[in-house]
Amino acid sequence: MNNKLNDIEYDEVKILIIEELTKYANEHSGFVNNKYLESLDLFNLIDIDDIEEIKSKLAENQVEFIDEGENLEDIEIVEDLIDLDLKSKNRDGILVELSELLEKSPNIIGEEKDIYKALVDREKLGSTGIGKGVAIPHAKTESVKGLTVAFGVSKEGIDFNSLDEEEVHLFFVFASPNKDSQIYLKVLARISRLIREEEFRDNLFGCKTPKEVIDCIREKEDE
């Protein structure tokens, strides 16, 4: 599969990912599970380099690898990494704010702007704006010791080149080391599933304090 994305349009990359995984699943009918392929928003977000990782998990019959995901309540999202009033008016500015939010975590060990650069590089592969007013900027980088998740809200909304062309208000952003592909994909899958529900998105947008955000996520996970 071509790993050079410079000459491939994003929609074509998405199709290649889905076709690649579908073909592989069909060739190994003992573990075919359509739940792997039904979440297009997840496949909009994974990187080409993740395909081999997913294949290996499929081959090991680990269907839960993407299907289940990690509970967000088991992943520490602290109040300091929540900003309910992002100020930027464009995508680049938002990525700066979100990267600075992540950098408040002691998990960030790289040089200044490393996280921002990693997020920008990921966006070059295609927008992480998955639609319905949500974006999930993310990056794998050696500038972080462990998975780190932050959350931000833009009250006015940002043109993030989303799949449905709607402005984005809710931003889940995270970074993880390159070696942590498994949890990286699980968290991506879990967030993608949670934000599908309009009520949950509305509740998040309506939160007045970081604590309310954490409580909102915890209540949803406990259902």
CA distances (Å), origin 6, targets 10, 90, 125, 211: 10, 23, 8, 41
Centre a 10 Å sphere on the Cβ of residue 119 and count the other Cβ atoms it contains: 24
Rg over CA atoms, the chain: 17
CA distances (Å), origin 189, targets 46, 60, 68, 169, 195: 10, 19, 8, 20, 10
Centre a 10 Å sphere on the Cβ of residue 72 and count the other Cβ atoms it contains: 20
Cα separation, 11 vs 82, in Å, equals: 31
Instruction: Return the residue matching tokens 């931000």.
Output: 152
Catalytic: which of 57, 122, 132, 138? 138
Tokens at 160, concatenated: 């993030």
Closest CA to 167 of 118, 220, 127: 127
Instruction: Return the residue matching tokens 């995984």.
Output: 21
Give yes or no: 169 in active site. Answer: no
The residues assigned a catalytic role are 138
